[in-house]
Amino acid sequence: MLFCLLMTAGVVSAQKVEWDNGREERIRALIGQMTLQEKVSLLHANAKFYVAGIKRLGIPEWALSDGPHGVRAEIDRDDWGYAGRTDDSATCFPPGTALAATWNPRLAYERGLVLGEEARYRQKDVLLGPGINIIRSPLCGRNFEYLSEDPFLVSRMAVAYIKGLQSKDVAVSVKHWLANNQEAHRDSVDVYMSERALREIYLPGFKASVTEGGAYTVMAAYNRFRGDWCSENEYLDRQILRKEFGFRGVLMTDWGAAHSTVKAALAGLDLEMGTDIKDYKQWYFADPLVRAVEEGKVPVSAVDEKVADVLRVMFRTKVLGEGVREKGKMNTPEHQQAAYVSAAEAAVLLQNNGNLLPLHLDRIRSVAVIGDNATRRHCGGGLSSEIKALYEVTPLEALQRKWGDRVKINYARGYEKQSTFKEGSNSGQSGAGKVDWGLIDEAVKAAKESEVAIVIGGLNHDFDTESSDKQDMGLPYGQQVLIQEVAKANPNTVVVIIAGSPVELAGIVDRAPAILWAWYGGMEAGNAVADLLSGKVNPSGKLPFTLPVSLAQSPAHALGNYPGRDLKVNYEEDILVGYRWFDTKKIQPQFPFGYGLSYTHFSVDHFSTDKSRYGKNDTIRARFVIKNAGSVYGAEVVQLYVSDPVCSVLRPEKELKAFEKVFLNPGEARTVELRVKVADLAFYDESRKAWNTEAGEYILQLGNSSRNILQKVKILVDHE
Ligand code: BGC
């Protein structure tokens, strides 16, 4: 049997060193001047998005705001109504899955900078994002806000985002800690999973956010985890977050996710935020906390720790202390350009038969543009992440503006937004819905009269939304029939999917020659779509999740453990989430994780490693040469997966361990080096409660999706 090399789960101390340097004494001195009531006033909201300050000690009110892809409009202090201000229109980026689809951490960093500047301009101290829960089911209503099914991709994007944003003196709030992987029954469901799944799939994004990103705040989810609410979960909050990750910032509740005073206080919760309109003084972390201390149920030292966590974040973001705080900027051309690049780099070209795309506008005189999403604006939807965008360019507007003087654009609605909401069962919209033959006939007519037909469809925020899940993965409002009829009428049919979570494409992949997945594109959505279709921009996005043929293929659904029974859900698919399931079980998805085409093509050669044998503390340096072998500028995302073919436990067929997005001119070649720590080849060994890198052979696989492996190299990890 193979020898085991063990790595114990050590306490991470990097954050501590950074946060100490003299501030701790000042924090203690401030706390020393506070009454118990004053201390507790810093541990609960005094408005929907504010926490009271202590004037006499120079501690200002703390301002929080949603959300992950733009600074949300101002909300009334004590209810959910919008304040009706005229100065709170903001830059709106494409949401989470679109960001992850860029596979470009630099864009996540730049987004962080922009959001940080806008948050500061609006006098915010904490921006409530990024949302980094693993995409477990295609149905989760918040998939669009989250990043990926893969913990490594989540980690890389989240760390970059956090570093960018916090460099502007604003705290992130990484959410939702933990296992908020469905919206159905989110405020009551109890999630169970193996320790291995927790460690390998659901924790790494949070761990990286805290230990590498240095996240200043974390938001505890609504749900329970192994019986206890996430906001008072001793194992998650004290043992893992505080002790193992070394987190020294603020753990706040999601809005209304507190359930107790004493238990939560002892488990490590710092701050109660909420939606409840009753007197803030009655909240768990208000007068009841004062009483709990007075009755000796919560030691005053525990309260002091919480206050210290709050003050520490205030010092780090220059709310307190010296240093000139970032003043911020709002709606600059640079911000809008960042939103555009983010949308343009996110789009995934799924299919391009006969090289229908890019469209040669010099040769085309008429185009039919069909679909409700050609004219729909999406920035204002999705609930807590909704943005009052300064503007939002729809695809039809952009096509008319950019092509209108050369090309006749025949617009037809094609389908209409309908309500397909089913009462009860916590489920949201269904992909079913009426086929409107009147609208289809008009669309077919427009398609027949045009040289090219572009159907712009997909979902909207009736589906991709907080607080309910989709009922199924169907394309709603009869779009499948619409696309089939349009494609029959015009062989040059391009489908543009606007959606933030998987939808079923089985009924259209054989009919429409070209499919571009454009996500919700934020305020610059239309400009990006137009430039991608015309070839001004070459698509370079890659799927951040597996696109199944049907819902039944997807692990949680194949095993029947979504959305759970009797408010309990057991993640029986264990570590086999997303492509780990599809690749291990040899199930052919519609389009695999990491997949996306380009208008050019790339060759990848000379894949090699610096050594063939490694010790457990080594770093593998893997090199390859990539060349743009086509005739236009473009980018390829080269992905390094690792397999452990002989292991004492089941391992996924392959796991993503590194990637690089490489931009190349036509004919240009570059040597790229990817680094992987041998320690990162470990699995979580439940029998030893530790990470375990077994000695033996590993296969490094270089590809441009989890299913398209171009080169392989075997290495050996030595006994030690
Ligand atoms: C959401 C959070 C959000 C908060 C404040 C909650 O319902 O789950 O993600 O930040 O509301 O709007």
Q: Does residue 611 share a domain with residue 523? A: no
Residues at CB less than 6 angstroms from ligand 1? 66-67, 128, 175, 254-255, 384, 466
**Ligand 1 pocket, mutate which of 142, 275, 466 (most atoms under 8 A from CB):** 466
Give 390 Cα–ligand 1 centroid separation in angstroms: 22
* 530 lies in some domain: yes
Residue 190 pLDDT exceeds 70 = yes
Indicate whether 345 and 482 sit together in one domain. yes
Question: What separation in Å is there between the alpha carbon of 48 and the centre of ligand 1?
Answer: 11
Count CA atoms within 13 Å of residue 234 on its CB side: 4
Smallest CA-to-CA distance from 303 within 286, 315, 325, 323 is with 286
pLDDT at 17 exceeding the cut of 60: no
Residue 129 CA: nearest ligand 1 atom is 10
Question: If DSSP states are collapsed to H, E and C, what string results for 270-318?
Answer: CEECCCCCCCHHHCCCCHHHHHHHHCCCCCHHHHHHHHHHHHHHHHHCC
Angle, alpha carbons 225-223-500 (nearest 5°): 115
Q: How far apart are the first and last CA of the chain?
A: 14
Residue 367 maps to which CATH number?
A: 3.40.50.1700
- For 192-201, what is the mean pLDDT? 98
Asked if 521 and 631 sit in the same domain, the reply is no
Number of continuous H segments (helices) and E segments (strands) in the chain: 18, 28
Ligand 1 centre to CA of 209 (Å) is 19
Mean of the pLDDT values across residues 282-290? 98
Q: Is the peptide bond before 236 cis (omega within 30 degrees of 0)?
A: no
Q: Which two tokens stand for residue 258?
A: 């507190």
How many whole angstroms from 256 Cα to the centroid of ligand 1?
9
For residues 527 and 634, state if they share a domain: no
Q: What is the pLDDT of residue 423?
A: 64
The mean pLDDT value for 359-384 works out to 97
Q: Is the pLDDT of residue 322 over 60?
A: yes
Domain-embedded: residue 315: no
At 720, the pLDDT band (50, 70, 90 cuts) reads confident
Among the atoms of ligand 1, which is closest to the Cα of residue 180? 8
Q: Does one domain contain both 419 and 504?
A: yes
Amino acid found at 707: R
Could you tell me where the beta strands, DSSP code E, fall in 524-618?
Answer: 568-570, 602-609, 613-614
Assess if residue 505 is contained within a domain.
Answer: yes
What does the pLDDT look like over 658-699, one tens digit per residue?
Answer: 999 999 999 999 999 999 999 999 999 999 999 999 999 999
CA 713 to ligand 1 centroid distance, Å:
45
**Ligand 1 center to 255 CA (angstroms):** 6
Claim to verify: residue 646 and residue 506 sit in the same structural domain: no
Nearest atom within ligand 1 for CA of residue 66: 10
Q: Is residue 275 part of a domain?
A: no
Instruction: In whole angstroms, give the CA distance from residue 479 to residue 313.
Output: 49
Percent over 90 (pLDDT), the chain:
94
pLDDT computed for residue 26 by the predictor: 96
Domain range holding 373?
A: 333-542
Question: Is residue 14 pLDDT above 60, yes or no?
Answer: no
Q: Output the residue whose Cα is nearest ligand 1's atom 6.
A: 255
Does residue 254 have an active-site annotation? yes
Tens digit of each residue's pLDDT (9 = 90 or more) over 252-285: 999 999 999 999 999 999 999 998 777 999 999 9
Task: Examine the pLDDT at 701 and tell me if it is beyond 80.
Answer: yes
pLDDT at site 11: 39
pLDDT of residue 5: 34
pLDDT tops 80 at residue 12: no
pLDDT tens by residue, 95-147:
999 999 999 999 999 999 999 999 999 999 999 999 999 999 999 999 999 99
Q: How confident is the model at residue 374 (pLDDT cuts 50, 70, 90)?
A: very high
Query: In angstroms, what is the span from residue 171 Cα to ligand 1's centroid?
Result: 16
With respect to residue 238, please indicate whether it lies within any of the assigned structural domains: no
Nearest CA to ligand 1 atom 12: 384
Mutate to test the pocket of ligand 1, among 75, 128, 178 (most ligand atoms within 8 A of CB): 128
Cα(71) to centroid of ligand 1, in Å? 13
Nearest CA to ligand 1 atom 8: 254
The pLDDT of residue 21: 62
Say if 224 falls within a structural domain: no
Report DSSP state, residue 191: E
Q: Is the same domain home to 534 and 663?
A: no
Report how many domains make up the chain: 2
In a domain, 433, yes or no: yes
Alpha-carbon distances of 683 from 204, 489, 651, rounded to whole Å: 12, 53, 8
d(CA 44, CA 526): 41
Distance in angstroms (rounded) separating the CA atoms of residues 694 and 52: 52
- Residue with CA at minimum distance from ligand 1 atom 11: 255
Q: In which band, very low, low, confident or very high, does the pLDDT at 294 lie, cut at 50, 70 and 90?
A: very high
Q: Is the pLDDT of residue 425 over 70?
A: no
Q: Helical H runs in 199-270? A: 204-211, 262-267
What's the pLDDT tens digit per position in 33-90? 999 999 999 999 999 999 999 999 999 999 999 999 999 999 999 999 999 999 999 9
| Residues 534 and 607 placed together within one structural domain of the fold | no
Same domain, 428 and 533: yes
Looking at 542, 563, 592, the residue that finishes a domain is 542
- Atom 3 (ligand 1): residue with closest C-alpha? 384
Judge whether residue 2 has pLDDT over 80: no
In a domain, 120, yes or no: no
Give pLDDT, residue 264. 98
Average pLDDT over residues 228-246: 98
The single-letter code of the amino acid at 198 is: L
Pocket test for ligand 1, best of 143, 254, 272, 387 (most atoms within 8 A of CB): 254
What digits encode the pLDDT tens for the residues 456-479?
Answer: 999 999 999 999 999 999 999 999
Hey, whose CA ends up nearest to atom 7 of ligand 1? 255
228, pLDDT greater than 80: yes
Output the CA torsion sign for 61, 66, 70, 74: negative
**Catalytic pick among 237, 254, 372, 462:** 254
Is there a single domain that holds both residue 526 and residue 606?
no
Q: Which of 631, 702, 629, 633 is nearest to 663 (CA)?
A: 633
- Supply the pLDDT for residue 578: 98
Helix (H) or strand (E) holding 120: helix 105-121
Same-domain status, 363 and 504: yes
Domain with residue 607: its CATH number is 2.60.40.10
Contacts of 428 (CB under 8 A, 6+ apart): 141, 183, 421, 422, 462, 463, 465, 468, 469, 470, 471
Tell me the average pLDDT of the chain.
95
* 8-state DSSP, 585: T
Residue at a domain's end among 521, 542, 563 = 542
Atom 9 of ligand 1, residue of closest alpha carbon: 384
Whether residue 624 sits in one domain with residue 529: no
Q: Which of 522, 542, 562 is the last residue of a domain?
A: 542
pLDDT at 199: 98
